[in-house]
């Protein structure tokens, strides 16, 4: 009899525990809404008229905002305003690159910062721009710092989720369109921009694999070393995801265009992150400058994203008709929504009205298809640049501009056949001649992550 009573008591206790656990998880789940379809990234400033911005978002059909604010309290002010217009708010937080507390951490913890292949730390050197102050993901203090930061934002009532940005290393390779800005050529990985060599990381790698990656002639070719650094970033992302999910909120990220591109360019293997939603930044104007880059990346992301991750697409907002072609390339090839950077770029009244009509129609199409957009079955990734009409048109125009920079009255170009003269790593280099001006040009294509991700045109020596 006592045994039966004990069993019954244990059963009741277990039932009560399950009910309590369910109640807690349900309370957490109440914060987790189905993600909006159209988003924008925005910086929040208490001095701006956020009510007016939300009204504008609502009018244009943007029903979600990834908001970057300096403190949890600022979200507590912004969220009720956004909710008034039916807009979801996700905290857009930088992780490995410091932002609001940059100077404080630099002063207190200079040993936390990322180190490049030359042994230079970002605590006292610059990579590209002054605000690139990336932390090292292997430093225990860095992990604790990020944990506390994420926890403080997750405690904000009404916040739909967290979207992490700059969860990566410094760009070992920049998109080709940015090279002129910094007067650089990055046709391969160079030591000054190759980060992840913090002493703790080196020791951890040596313990795991038995050698020092720096002892190699070219560490950039070591796949174990590359993946090791990717995995340290993945550990940070999944640590954050665990915290976010424990609060019943949505875990999102804004990574580089595809997992394979990201792993090469910034050591960011985001297909392995425990994300609910991903907003890859497929900014075609930084890469090939052609909409086909968006469809190529989206098709790749459908395949390589996490199994439980909903794919969206991050686009650079354009105040012209190109934005609609860009959104079509994303939504027709597997993306379930769009985020633009940013709403402030949409200024032309006609473009704004067309954008509003576009979001309305896209939402209706998605609703009619049980909340999912299916991709066009006939579209495939095309990696032969000579079959990409838009890209070849841009290259021809670049060559024409170079010819006319020396002779404004020059006749239209007539190009010879392209001759492949070199290929290494992700690079394919061709020689082509303008038969009118007799000038030679190098045309180089880059295939980071296995897809056409950039091109460049340079004058070449003329034949003797």
Residue 18 has pLDDT above 70, yes or no: no
Using alpha carbons, select from 327, 273, 267, 320 the residue that is nearest to residue 298. Answer: 327
Specify the higher pLDDT residue, 379 or 49: 49
Q: Please, what is the angle between helix 72-84 and helix 50-60, to 10°? A: 50
- What CA–CA distance (Å, rounded) separates 317 from 320? 9
- What CA–CA distance (Å, rounded) separates 257 from 286? 11
Which residues are CB-neighbours of 276 under 8 A, at least 6 positions away? Answer: 35, 161, 250, 251, 252, 308, 309, 310
Q: What is the pLDDT of residue 379?
A: 79
Q: How many Cβ atoms from other residues are within 10 Å of residue 397's Cβ?
A: 12
pLDDT > 90 in the chain, percent: 86
Which residues are CB-neighbours of 453 under 8 A, at least 6 positions away? Answer: 175, 257, 261, 287, 288, 293, 426, 446, 447
Q: What is the pLDDT of residue 187?
A: 86
Q: What is the pLDDT of residue 10?
A: 38
Mean pLDDT calculated for residue range 69-94: 97
Q: Longest Cα pair distance anywhere in the chain, in angstroms?
A: 106
Q: What is the pLDDT of residue 357?
A: 98
R_g over Cα of the chain: 25
pLDDT digits (tens, 9 = 90+) for 124-140: 999 999 999 999 999 99
Which residues are CB-neighbours of 177 under 8 A, at least 6 positions away? Answer: 285, 286, 287, 289, 454
pLDDT digits (tens, 9 = 90+) for 36-67: 999 999 999 888 899 999 999 999 999 999 99
Q: What is the pLDDT of residue 25?
A: 38
Mean pLDDT calculated for residue range 336-359: 97
- What CA–CA distance (Å, rounded) separates 150 from 95? 9
3-state SS, one letter per residue, for the chain = CHHHHHHHHHHHHHHHHHHHHHHHHHHHHCCCCCCCCEEEEEECCCCCCHHHHHHHHHHHCCCEEEEECCCHHHHHHHHHHHHHCCCEEEEEEECCECCCCHHHHHHHCHHHECEECCCCECCCCCECECCCCEECCCCHHHHHHHHHHHHHHHCCCCCCEEEEECCCCCCCCCCHHHHHHHCCCCCCCCHHHCECCCHHHHHHHHHHHCCCHHHCCCHHHCHHHHHHHHHHHHHHHHHHHHHHHHCCCEEEECCCCCHHHHHHHCCCCHHHCCCCEECCECCHHHCCCCCHHHHHHHHHHHHHCCCCCEECEEEECCCCCHHHHHHHHHHCCCCCCEEEECHHHCCCHHHHHHHHHHHHHHHHHHHHCCCCCCCCCCCCCCCCHHHCHHHHHHHHHHHHHHHHHHCCCCCCCCECCCEEEEEECCEEEEEEEECCCCEEEEEEEECHHHCCCEEEEEEECCCC
- Could you tell me the pTM of the whole model? 0.90
Strand partners, 313: 338
Kindly list the distances between the CA atom of residue 63 and the CA atoms of 57, 90, 313, 324, in Å, as whole numbers in the listed order: 7, 11, 15, 18
Residue 15 has pLDDT above 60, yes or no: no
Q: What is the pLDDT of residue 32?
A: 67
- What CA–CA distance (Å, rounded) separates 314 from 255? 9
Residue 412 has pLDDT above 60, yes or no: yes
Write down the mean pLDDT value for the chain.
Answer: 92
Q: What is the pLDDT of residue 16?
A: 35
Confidence category of residue 31, pLDDT binned at 50, 70, 90: low
Mean pLDDT calculated for residue range 272-294: 97
Residue 216 has pLDDT above 80, yes or no: yes
Mean pLDDT calculated for residue range 93-103: 94
pLDDT digits (tens, 9 = 90+) for 440-463: 999 999 999 889 999 999 999 986
């Amino acid at each position: 009899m006592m045994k039966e009573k004990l069993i019954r008591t244990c059963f009741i206790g277990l039932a009560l525990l399950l009910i309590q656990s369910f109640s807690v998880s349900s309370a957490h789940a109440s914060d987790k809404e189905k993600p909006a379809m159209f988003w924008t990234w925005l910086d929040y400033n208490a001095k701006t008229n956020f009510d007016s911005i939300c009204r504008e978002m609502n009018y244009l059909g943007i029903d979600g905002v990834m908001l970057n604010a300096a403190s949890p309290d600022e979200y507590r002010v912004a969220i009720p305003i956004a909710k008034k217009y039916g807009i979801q708010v996700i905290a857009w937080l930088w992780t490995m690159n410091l932002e609001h507390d940059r100077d404080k951490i630099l002063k207190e913890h200079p040993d936390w910062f990322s180190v490049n292949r030359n042994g230079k730390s970002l605590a006292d050197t610059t990579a590209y721009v002054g605000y690139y102050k990336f932390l090292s993901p292997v430093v225990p203090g860095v992990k604790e710092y990020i944990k506390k930061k994420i926890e403080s934002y997750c405690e904000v009532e009404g916040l739909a989720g967290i979207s992490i940005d700059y969860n990566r290393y410094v760009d070992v390779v920049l998109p080709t369109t940015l090279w002129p800005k910094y007067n650089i050529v990055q046709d391969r990985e160079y030591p000054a921009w190759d980060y992840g060599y913090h002493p703790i990381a080196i020791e951890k790698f040596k313990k795991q694999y038995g050698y020092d990656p720096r002892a190699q002639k070219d560490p950039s070719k070591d796949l174990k070393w590359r993946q090791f650094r990717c995995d340290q970033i993945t550990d940070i992302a999944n640590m954050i995801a665990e915290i976010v999910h424990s609060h019943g909120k949505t875990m999102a990220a804004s990574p580089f265009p595809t997992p394979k591109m990201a792993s090469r360019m910034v050591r960011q293997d985001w297909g392995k992150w425990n994300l609910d939603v991903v907003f890859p930044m497929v900014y075609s104007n930084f890469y090939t400058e052609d909409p086909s880059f968006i469809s190529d990346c989206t098709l790749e992301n459908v395949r390589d994203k996490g199994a439980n991750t909903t794919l969206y697409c991050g686009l650079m907002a354009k105040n012209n008709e190109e934005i609609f072609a860009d959104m079509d390339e994303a939504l027709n090839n597997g993306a379930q929504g769009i985020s633009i950077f940013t709403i402030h770029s949409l200024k032309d009244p006609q473009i704004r009205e067309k954008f509003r009509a576009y979001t309305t129609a896209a939402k209706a199409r998605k609703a009619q298809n049980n909340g999912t957009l299916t991709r066009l079955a006939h579209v495939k990734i095309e990696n032969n640049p000579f079959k990409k009409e838009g890209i070849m048109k841009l290259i021809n125009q670049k060559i024409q501009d170079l010819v006319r920079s020396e002779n404004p009255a020059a006749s239209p170009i007539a190009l010879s056949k392209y001759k492949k003269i070199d290929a290494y790593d992700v690079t394919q280099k061709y020689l082509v001649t303008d038969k009118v001006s007799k000038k030679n040009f190098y045309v180089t294509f880059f295939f980071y992550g296995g897809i056409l991700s950039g091109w460049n045109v340079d004058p070449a020596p003329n034949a003797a």
